[in-house]
Structure 1
């Protein structure tokens, strides 16, 4: 699946997940991640990634069914 992933979808997902993983690892190491605003940002980022993936999957399935 990764080989057929659209580049316009892959790049924002990788960039967003890099920020989230950095915050998670920072918290695991005992750093202050910014409180509720940082958590809210991570939640919104995950929601945005989910919307992008859902949109891409539904678009891909629609194209396959017309073949």
Structure 2
């Protein structure tokens, strides 16, 4: 099921994690050549992808919402 990106945070290793509107989190790494997501490397790129819909396998499994860091 596709869900829109509502925000971002970084994990303990500094990797970017998309916070989806459904309450699930999903890593959005830029790790060429396997995964190319140059947009995640800049604040402007991340802002521009808010609202973009990503596949959420956790929704497909009816998983509970993920924990998110306090802002």
Question: TM-score, normalising length from structure 2?
Answer: 0.24
Name the one with the larger helix percent: 1
Question: TM-score, normalising length from structure 1?
Answer: 0.24
Name the one with the larger strand percent: 2
